[in-house]
Structure 1
Amino acid sequence: MPKKSLEELLIPLLPLPEQQKIAEILSTVDKAIEKVDEAIAKTERLKKGLMQELLTKGIGHKEFKDTEIGRIPKEWEVVRLGDVLELCQYGLSVPLKDKGKYPVIRMDEIVNGYVVTDIAKYADLDEETFKNFKLEKGDVLFNRTNSLELVGRTGIFLLDGYYVFASYLIRLRPKHEILHPHFLTFYLIFSQSRLKQLATVAVHQANINATNLKKFKIPLPPLPEQQKIAEILSTVDKKLELERKRKEKLERIKKGLMNDLLTGRRRVRVKANE
């Protein structure tokens, strides 16, 4: 904003004691948000440490071996991702609409390792096409085309309802008898730097195609151990989700207070001796 416009800007001028009271109220909310931010950061550090420990050392192992993907428990195997998938499929390439029959999951709906319901686009599909691209619980979605920073973003689909997925995502459906979908999701998130080595990079875009992704090597613990690792990390994720929702609630409270108090729409009482 130009200096002249800023100087001419009209603002409400409340009595000084009322200004001070409003500042105190908003500062109290700010401090609460800061505390939640600290809790989120602490839990994120915990998760990062647990992922490093559990996805490379497992649970309770004493013997380890060196492999092409690093040191892992002796009991674990190293496999190509494609060998433990039932399905590795590109998404739909169809016109998207603001309204339609089926909601379409895009990269923006993959948040913190999960597919969320902030659906903005839809597609009208015939029954056969819908069947071929309908997401099932436990499907893992992988962002194959984006900036180098965002390519490889991964999330597990756990939603109720009828959804399909967009063309720049790859659907990974594990063979459930040998690979747990949550374990796969956590491992792909953990392995982002190694995954990005698979990317071909053009101007402003990076791509990891399905052929290269299927060649990606992952560790394969026994299924019960995969399940246990997934349970531990999912518990931390639930804690993080609660903390993030608490922060969102506080931010809504702050926004509402600012709208009310800084416009004079809602006045605060100030004692005579304040």
Structure 2
Amino acid sequence: MNRRAYSEWEPRSLASLGTYLNGFAFKPQHWGENGLPIVRIRELLDPTVEPDRYEGPTAEPYLIEDGDLIFSWSATLAVVFWNRGPAYLNQHLFKVTPAPDVNVRFLHHLINYHLDRLAAKSHGTTMKHVTRGDLDRYLIRLPGLDEQGAIAELLDTLDCQIRISNELVNKLRLQANGLVDDLVAAIPAEQREPLAHLCVADICYGIVQSGEFVAGGVPVLSIRDLSGDFETDLHRTKPAIDAQYRRSRVAPGDVLLSIKGTIGRAGVAPEHYTGNISRELARLRFGKNILPEFARLYLLSREAQRRLDLAVVGTTRAEVSIHVLKKFGFPAPSPECQQRMVAVYRSIERRIVAEEKEREKLRTLKLGLASDLLTGRVRVPAVVSS
């Protein structure tokens, strides 16, 4: 470490580097179909998650805009710049406004660098969370504004390379989806049957009104959970309500399709999930002749999405009725054909995994450089000259 340089940096607490405004505790009664998105931890970290929305009286202090620095301080610790337009911030997230002598991009890198140490010092055994008191007690040294800007610029450059890698991964995913579309188009028309004929249980939607969240209750999947891990932030209902909807309980391998609001999201229930589904989802339990992963790929194909759009009814909120869904013509090629289709898709997924490993190398490189620069071990001019 360049001790002389580091000693010139001002001792500060993380709390003193800005203001940390916690989001609002939005409840189910605040959720609506219109209005601005409600940003929870999942929505912050995954842009594909379908958000709930709030259309009530303006909650100005909790409004976030592009460029705002958001700190997830509970369960999953992360700090990111918001870039998806106006939205409302939910609890367990801080909106961080830097102090006048702090560069916001430097602050972003600084908090990111110290997240692991913050997690180690944080409260909770199963769910970590960082309090303002933790930020008060956590001490760092702060360089001057010019040096902050230079450090941030270097680390931003690596972030840019990581984003390029992300874009390549996204292109590969588009390629995979295009391949699925081509394979689906090649399935002969005569190899299609009504969806109800291919299922071994009645096609049904889930719980109409699951009520308030019940700690320890029965998990109820919603649309946004189809892109998750089927564990985190699930709504839970009373066992008595679940008992009224035994017909829609989910078993491993069930294919779940969104049929109300956002149409056409699909997922496959994993082995570990035990619970029910919401009114917005339909449960499809296929027989042995249809592979669940093939069914998911088909439902996400351009052809299936177009046909689902044509089946939509309703003006205020889109919906595909169960009656129509049961008659939905579904491809039923041989199991061997399905396996080949899934195998080809997985081959592209392996390329995606390889690129993701390269991206991980970049992240490791950035972590090492951040350690050098943010601790004063290496001065910015030395890095630039090399």
* TM-score by shorter chain over 0.5: yes
Q: Which residue of 1 aligns with 2:260?
A: 145
Q: Which residue of 1 aligns with 2:318?
A: 206
2:131 matched to 1:20?
no
Q: Which residue of 2 aligns with 1:11?
A: 101
2:292 matched to 1:181?
yes
Shift of 1:35: 2.0
2:310 matched to 1:197?
yes
Matched residues in 2 for 1:252 and 1:92: separation?
Answer: 45
Return closer, same or farther for 1:210/1:251 CA change in 2, 3 Å cut-off. farther
Q: Which residue of the other structure, out of 228, 251, 255, is the alignment partner of 1:136?
A: 251
Q: Which residue of 2 aligns with 1:48?
A: 177
Task: Considering Cα pairs closer than 8 Å and 6+ residues apart, tell me whether 1 or 2 has the greater RCO.
Answer: 1
The one-letter code of the counterpart of 1:214 is: K
2:214 matched to 1:83?
no
Q: Which residue of 1 aligns with 2:78?
A: none
Contact 2:158 2:366 in 1 (8 A): no
Aligned length: 242
Return closer, same or farther for 1:26/1:73 CA change in 2, 3 Å cut-off. same
Shift of 1:235: 4.4
TM-score of the superposed pair, with normalisation by structure 2: 0.53
Matched residues in 1 for 2:364 and 2:258: separation?
Answer: 31
Shift of 1:54: 1.7
SS in structure 2 at match of 1:160: coil
Contact 1:78 1:217 in 2 (8 A): yes
SS in structure 1 at match of 2:193: strand
SS in structure 2 at match of 1:230: helix
The one-letter code of the counterpart of 2:311 is: L
1:224-263 equivalences under 5 Å are 224-237=336-349, 240=352
In structure 2, the gaps of 5 or more residues are 1-64, 66-98, 103-142
The one-letter code of the counterpart of 2:259 is: R
In structure 1, the gaps of 5 or more residues are 2-8, 58-71
Contact 2:256 2:269 in 1 (8 A): yes
Matched residues in 2 for 1:252 and 1:99: separation?
Answer: 38
Matched residues in 2 for 1:23 and 1:245: separation?
Answer: 24
Shift of 1:227: 2.3
Matched residues in 2 for 1:207 and 1:116: separation?
Answer: 23
SS in structure 2 at match of 1:79: strand
TM-score of the superposed pair, with normalisation by structure 1: 0.72
Contact 1:143 1:152 in 2 (8 A): yes
2:381 matched to 1:269?
no
Q: Deviations over 1:150-181 (max 9, x none)?
A: 212111112414222112211011122x2222
Contact 1:79 1:220 in 2 (8 A): yes
Matched residues in 2 for 1:169 and 1:271: separation?
Answer: 53
Provide the alpha-carbon RMSD of the alignment: 3.7
